[in-house]
A and B are shown apart, each in its own frame.
Chain A
Amino acid sequence: MQSRMHPKYYLSQDIFDREQVKIFRKVWLFAGLASLLPENNSFITRKIAGIPVVIQNFKGEIKAFENVCLHRSAPLQQGFYGRRALVCPYHAWSYDATGMVKSIPDCDTIYRFSNEEKQSLKLREFALKQLGSLLFINLSSEPMPFEEQFNPGFVALMKNAANAFDTEVMVTTWHGKFNWKLVYENLRDFNHVKFLHAKSLAAVADFPFHAANQVDLALTPLSDTSVAGLRKAMRPFSFGGPEGEVDPIRHVPWLDMVERWGTQDAYFNWLAYPNLHIACGNGGYSFTIEHHIPVAPDRTDIEIYFVTAKKKKPYAASSQVLLSNLHYSKKILDEDIGMLEQIQSVLHDDAPIPNQGAYESTNRQIERWYTTLMEIEHEI
């Protein structure tokens, strides 16, 4: 059967802009790790769906604001990560935990703002949700409830794992030359593992999957295209758990240095649509957090966070453990990224529409939802 995904969905700037408004500025997105914000004034900055965001710790309370000063539009915080009060470096306007202007040097003598004017100066604030160490953000002025987007079982298991993350985090970014949707189509397709990763991942793990026998519901049009219906249809897109069977975990000394999460020898995956994939290939000893950031129709940044389970106590070579595991993960990811870049490189407006099999029904469901959303007037 033919996919609904016309090549324009991977190539068009107009479609990309529509996605940013209709999906990325409406739904809950992964935004970073709370473990990078351990103390008062710790901050991280991000650009999410084109909006510069600062996420900052105010005496234990974590808040997200637009990272733009209300005076002359300078960024309030600079750099990915740091520790500094929320004060603009340009003319020293400072802001409090509610985003209100706290003080403006020489306000009465040179700005002469009325009290009313001063009261109206408030940074745009964004909704945040914390699951263990994972931070999610919603850029909408009326954010949908978190529970509407993700089902409770999925949230509970992911939160449980995220509570086990260590506070030492390794971070890097790859600049992929492909459309962000290709990543998710790939992640929901276990059939590629034994071919593309024959010598790497497939040598140590198995990912059983099946092709459903029943009639594929995703073949008919989406029945409820109301806002509520579109939100409800989205929920099954995020799922996770012990999806792969792994060989017995080979003992290396660092495994004894961490508190393993759980006891199941399995390959765990969590996919939180639309921008997060967490993989744990060794039954709870370490976690790769992949954050996918659409940059352009044919550009996706892949921000990788690597953590082990919580350390029992600090040890000197812990960052080298993270580094060698990151190098290993990169080997497998490079195989995926290489393929996705090849796919993107041969796409054109007239390219053949993909043909899918029965086992690709999850992708079909998402494609049905996605194409409906892209073509209708209203949003979610």
Chain B
Amino acid sequence: MKSRWIVGGGDQLGLAYYAWKQARQDEDVQKIEVPQGADYEFDLSVFDQLNPETGDIFIAFDERFGNFKRMELFRAALARGFSLGPLISASADVAQDVVVGKNVFIGPQAVIGHGCKIEYNSVIHAGAHVGANSHLRASVWVEPGVQIGARVEVGAHAIIRTGAIVHSNIKVGKGAELGWPQLYSTDVTDKTVYDIRYDEPIYVYGS
């Protein structure tokens, strides 16, 4: 029996583990927690016992540190030769021509319109809607119930939180975080953060 190792931590690890168990009863699905040190660095030695010839890995980690922590694990697994197949929940409604990258998670009842492209390592949670011909770049995080219009471009590592409605035809910059429950109807510049704890958006200038 082929193994499916769900590797990561936190709530996302449990979520992905049960989703895979339900989706692939023909596989031996196991979850593996990656320890983190006091400096938040992962102990990647957990990958040493896993062999790409006997199974595949799915990385399950939340959006912390702008999705860079999940990306770190993704890269580590990729470098070790795993193919990192995506998980599309049985109840998700994903149009036939949608391009789905490695290690993508599409939750129950999510709706992805025709012509969409969901790049590697992105997470689309339960009940989120993505309008036709939208393009989500790598390592994006879309929370439950988010509404994204048609022809929306979402930059790499962006976070779109529950309550956000993203108008059709806009661009959400890379690393942006849409955390205020509101309609976003104009382009959002790279790395701009709307965090509900703050009175104004957080901007990043220069490099």
Residues of chain A touching chain B, judged by Cβ–Cβ distance below 8 Å, are 35-36, 38, 80-81, 167-175, 250-253, 314, 316-317, 319-320, 322-324, 326-327, 330
Residues on B facing A (Cβ under 8 Å): 38-41, 65-66, 68, 175, 191, 193, 197-207
How far apart sit A170 and B205, CA to CA, in the bound complex (Å)? 6
**Smallest beta-carbon distance A173→chain B, Å:** 4
Q: Which of A167, A171, A174 contacts B203 (CB 8 A)?
A: A171
> Smallest CB–CB gap between A281 and chain B, Å?
18
Is B205's CB under 8 angstroms from A169's CB?
yes
Contact assessment for B204 and A319 in the assembled complex, using a CB-CB cutoff below 8 Å: yes
17 of the cross-chain contacts (CB-CB < 8 Å) are A35-B205, A35-B206, A81-B205, A168-B206, A168-B207, A172-B199, A172-B201, A172-B202, A172-B203, A175-B199, A250-B38, A317-B68, A320-B68, A320-B175, A323-B66, A323-B193, A330-B198
Cβ 8 A contact of A317, one of B39, B41, B65: B65
Partner of B206, one of A38, A172, A326: A38
Q: Are B198 and A174 in contact (CB under 8 A)?
A: yes
Which of B38, B68, B199, B206 counts the most A-chain CB atoms under 10 A from its CB?
B206
- Expressed in whole angstroms, the Cα–Cα distance for A167 and B206 within the complex equals 6
On whether A319 and B40 interact (CB within 8 A), knowing A81-B205, A171-B202, A174-B200, the answer reads no
List, in ascending order, chain A residues with CB within 8 A of B39's CB. 250-253
Q: Which B residues touch A326, using CB under 8 A?
A: 202
* Inter-chain contacts of B41 with A (CB < 8 A): 253
Query: Is the Cβ of B68 less than 8 Å from the Cβ of A316?
Result: yes
Contact of A172 among B40, B65, B200 (CB under 8 A): B200
Give Cα A263 to B90, complex, Å.
57
Residues of A within 8 A of B193 (CB): 323
Given contacts A171-B205, A317-B65, A320-B66, 20 further A-B contacts (CB under 8 A): A35-B205, A168-B204, A169-B204, A170-B204, A172-B199, A172-B201, A175-B200, A251-B39, A252-B39, A252-B40, A253-B41, A314-B207, A316-B68, A317-B68, A319-B191, A320-B68, A322-B204, A323-B193, A324-B65, A326-B202
Instruction: List residues of chain A with CB within 8 A of the CB of B199.
Output: 172-175
Q: Least Cβ distance of A12 to chain B in Å?
A: 25
Chain B residues contacting A323 (CB-CB under 8 Å) are 66, 193, 202
Interface of B is mostly: loop
Beta-carbon contact of A330 and B206 below 8 Å: no
CA gap between A227 and B42 in the complex, in Å: 62
| Closest partner residue, chain A, to B197 (CB atom) | A330
Contacts of A253 in B (CB 8 A): 39-41
Residues in B with CB closer than 8 Å to A81 are 203, 205
Task: Report the Cα distance A248→B66, complex, angstroms.
Answer: 27
Which residues does chain A contribute within 8 Å of B68, judged by CB atoms?
316-317, 320
Q: List, in ascending order, chain B residues with CB within 8 A of A174's CB.
A: 198-200
B37 shortest CB reach to chain A, Å: 10
Report how far A213 CA is from B39 CA in the complex, Å: 45
Question: By the criterion CB–CB under 8 Å, are B205 and A319 in contact?
Answer: no
Residues of B within 8 A of A167 (CB): 206-207
**Which residue of A has the minimal Cβ distance to B193?**
A323
- Complex Cα spacing A167 to B207, Å: 6
Distance A81 CA – B201 CA, assembled complex (angstroms): 14
Q: A319-B175, A319-B191 are in contact. Are A172 and B198 (CB under 8 A)?
A: yes
Q: What B residues does A317 contact at CB under 8 A?
A: 65-66, 68
Most A-side CB within 10 Å, residue of B39, B40, B175, B202: B202
Which 5 A-B residue pairs are closest in the complex by CB-CB distance? A320-B66, A172-B202, A167-B206, A173-B200, A317-B68
Please measure, in the bound complex, the distance between the C-alpha atom of A330 and the C-alpha atom of B200, giving whole angstroms: 13
- Report the bound CA distance from A38 to B201 in whole Å: 23
- Shortest C-beta distance, A83 to chain B (Å), equals 11
Contact of B205 among A36, A175, A252, A320 (CB under 8 A): A36
> CA–CA, A168 to B40, complex, Å?
23
* Contact across chains for A170 and B65 when beta carbons are under 8 A apart: no
The smallest C-beta distance from A293 to any residue of chain B, in angstroms, reads 12
Q: In the complex, which residue of chain B has the Cβ closest to the Cβ of A170?
A: B204
Chain B min CB distance to A119 (Å): 37
Given contacts A250-B38, A252-B39, contact A320 B202 (CB under 8 A): no
Name which residue of chain B comes closest to A167, CB basis: B206
Q: Whole-angstrom distance between the alpha carbons of A171 and B200 in the complex?
A: 10
Contact assessment for A319 and B200 in the assembled complex, using a CB-CB cutoff below 8 Å: no
Q: Is the CB of B40 within 8 A of A169?
A: no
Q: Are B65 and A320 in contact (CB under 8 A)?
A: yes
Quote the shortest CB–CB distance from B203 to chain A (angstroms): 5
- Report A35 CB to chain B, min CB distance, Å: 6
Q: Roughly how many angstroms separate A36 CA and B204 CA in the complex, as a whole number? A: 10
A38 to chain B: which residues have CB within 8 Å? 206
Q: In the complex, which residues of chain B have a beta carbon less than 8 angstroms from the beta carbon of A35?
A: 205-206
A170 to B202, CA, bound (A): 7
Measured in the bound complex, the distance between the Cα atoms of B205 and A353 in whole Å is 44
Q: Complex: how many Å from CA A175 to CA B199? A: 7
Return A177 CB to nearest CB of chain B, in Å.
Answer: 11
Neighbouring A residues of B204 by C-beta, 8 Å: 168-171, 319, 322
